[in-house]
Every structure is written in structure tokens, then in C-alpha cells.
């Protein structure tokens, strides 16, 4: 029993010592750490150890150097991003320029097509106008005449004028009334010409040989045709008497 009591007391003594030893070891460890943080020739006091672990102070020149280094590092890191941004901007500008160029080209093409269409429309309009003008001129040139004595004389006078054959309306009318009374189918069956087999026929009573000899081109080849009969007779009177106006009797 006493042996067991001694054993318990001994255990408590060892435990206390052990705690002291552990504390001492911890203190020595802390001191070792302080010693390693200061120069070897420094004195190992508690205040000096505290000073050794104080924050490090930098001069303004050192701070500027550090700032410069940090700025250079940040700039170096930002260069790829800036290069990519610049490349993207250049690509966008090139795309916009190409689109603007394509739009301008398309606009120019549309303008040229519109101008071509307008020119074609203008030419078609001018052609139509010229055609209409030609039709109008042709209609004016194609003069119409009445199918009667007045119309026959007027048409004959226009043909005579174009051929250079002299004569007037009055000269023709006067001789026509005397010879046939204005009947284009009149035939003389009793004079010498009729006896010889070539009777006088038509408005101005012209015989066949004389009609053929003085026929005016552009008129019919029939003595019964009023215009052909008048122009051939006027042409004969022109060559023999100077003009139909100079004829006042049988000729």
C-alpha cells in the first residue's frame, strides 16, 4: 500500500518537471529564431530580438524602383491584350471599309443601269416621235384629190409642175370644156382622125399616137384616164404652142 502511494507521488513530480522542460525547450526555440534573424555580431537581448522582427522600411528610391518593376510587369502582361484589341479594331475597320466600297459599287451600278434605261427610253421616245413625224409628213405629202373635173385638173397641175410643164387651171378648164364638156369618156367618131382609125378620146380629145408620144411618167397609160389625158395633152401643147394656155381652138 505505501509502495503504491509513493508511486503516485513520483508520477506527479515527473509530470511537473516534464512541463518545465517543455517550456524551456519552447523558450530556447524562440530565442534561436531571434538569433537567426539578426547579424552574428549583435547582442542577444530581448529588446534587440524584438527590433529584428520589426517591419522592414524602404527608401523613396527603392519604392520608385519597386513601382517601376510592378508597372513594367503589368504592362508586359497587358501587351498581348492590347495587340489583340488593336488587331480586332483593324479587322473591324477593314470590314467596314470593304462594306462601304461594296455599297458604293452597288450604288454606282444601280445608277448606271438607271441611266442606261433612261437613255433607252429616251431613244425609243425619239424614234417614236420621228416615226410619227414621218407619218405626218407622208400624209401631208400624199395629197388627195376629188374624183371630179376640179380634182383631175388640180392633180394634173401638180404633176405638170413637178415635170416642168407650164399651164394654168383656167387654161386647162377652158380647153377641156370646149373639147369634151368635161366627159372623160368622150370620143370623136366623125373627124379626120376617126376616119384614119385614130379617133380623139378623153377630156382634151387626144389621139393614141400623140398620147403615147407625150405621155407623162407616173400617170396611167390609158387615154380614158382623166389625169393621164390632161397631162399628156398639156405636154403636147407645151412642145407645140408653148403652153396649154395658148390653145384656143382645135389643136
DSSP codes of every residue in 55-101: PPP--HHHHHHHHHHHHHHHHHHHHHHHHHHHHHHHHHHHHHHHHHH
Beta-bridge partners for 187: 201
pLDDT at 149: 98
pLDDT band of residue 72 (cuts 50, 70, 90) is low
Cell of 173: 378648164
Instruction: Compute the distance between CA of residue 197 and CA of residue 246 in angstroms, rounded to an integer.
Output: 28
Residue 27 Cα distances to 34, 49, 242, angstroms = 11, 13, 168
Q: Please give the share of the chain, as a percent, with pLDDT higher than 90.
A: 44
Alpha helices in the chain (DSSP H): 2-37, 46-52, 60-141, 149-163, 169-180, 192-195, 208-213, 226-241
pTM of the entire structure? 0.47
Q: pLDDT at residue 52 above 80?
A: no
| Mean pLDDT value of segment 158-176 | 98
pLDDT at 251: 83
99-145 pLDDT, tens per residue? 898 999 888 999 999 999 899 898 888 888 887 777 666 666 689 99
pLDDT at 45: 44
Q: pLDDT at residue 14 above 60?
A: no
Q: pLDDT at residue 198 above 50?
A: yes
Q: What is residue 245's three-state secondary structure?
A: helix
- CA max distance for the chain: 210
Query: Which of 94-98, 197-201, 212-216 has the weakest average pLDDT?
Result: 94-98
Q: Which helix (H) or strand (E) holds 188?
A: strand 187-188
C-alpha closest to that of 210 among 80, 201, 219: 201
Q: pLDDT at residue 60 above 90?
A: no
Convert 59-70 into a string of H (helix), E (strand) and C (coil): CHHHHHHHHHHH
Q: pLDDT at residue 219 above 80?
A: yes
Give the count of beta carbons closer than 10 Å to the beta carbon of residue 246: 14
pLDDT at 5: 43
pLDDT at 130: 82
Instruction: Label residues 8-18 b or e (16+ Cβ within 10 Å = b).
Output: eeeeeeeeeee
Query: Which of 8-22, 112-126, 171-185, 212-226 has the weakest average pLDDT?
Result: 8-22
| Mean pLDDT value of segment 180-196 | 95
pLDDT at 50: 46
pLDDT at 75: 63
Amino acid at each position: 500500500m505505501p509502495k503504491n502511494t509513493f508511486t503516485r507521488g513520483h508520477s506527479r513530480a515527473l509530470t511537473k518537471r516534464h512541463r518545465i522542460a517543455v517550456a524551456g525547450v519552447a523558450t530556447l526555440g524562440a530565442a534561436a529564431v531571434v538569433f537567426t534573424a539578426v547579424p552574428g555580431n549583435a547582442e542577444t537581448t530581448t529588446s534587440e530580438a524584438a527590433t529584428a522582427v520589426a517591419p522592414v522600411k524602404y527608401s523613396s528610391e527603392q519604392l520608385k524602383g519597386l513601382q517601376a518593376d510592378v508597372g513594367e510587369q503589368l504592362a508586359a502582361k497587358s501587351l498581348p491584350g492590347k495587340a489583340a484589341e488593336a488587331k480586332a479594331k483593324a479587322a473591324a475597320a477593314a470590314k467596314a471599309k470593304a462594306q462601304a466600297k461594296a455599297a458604293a459599287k452597288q450604288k454606282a451600278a444601280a445608277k448606271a443601269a438607271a441611266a442606261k434605261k433612261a437613255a433607252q427610253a429616251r431613244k425609243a421616245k425619239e424614234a417614236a416621235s420621228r416615226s410619227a413625224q414621218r407619218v405626218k409628213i407622208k400624209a401631208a405629202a400624199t395629197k388627195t384629190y376629188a374624183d371630179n373635173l376640179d380634182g383631175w385638173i388640180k392633180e394634173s397641175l401638180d404633176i405638170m409642175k413637178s415635170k416642168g410643164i407650164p399651164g394654168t387651171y383656167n387654161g386647162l378648164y377652158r380647153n377641156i370644156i370646149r373639147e369634151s364638156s368635161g366627159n372623160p369618156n368622150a370620143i370623136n367618131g366623125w373627124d379626120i382622125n376617126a376616119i384614119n382609125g385614130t379617133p380623139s378620146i378623153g377630156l382634151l380629145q387626144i389621139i393614141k399616137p400623140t398620147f403615147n408620144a407625150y405621155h407623162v411618167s407616173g400617170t396611167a397609160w390609158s387615154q380614158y384616164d382623166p389625169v393621164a389625158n390632161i397631162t399628156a395633152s398639156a405636154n403636147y401643147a407645151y412642145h407645140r404652142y408653148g403652153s396649154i394656155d395658148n390653145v384656143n381652138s382645135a389643136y
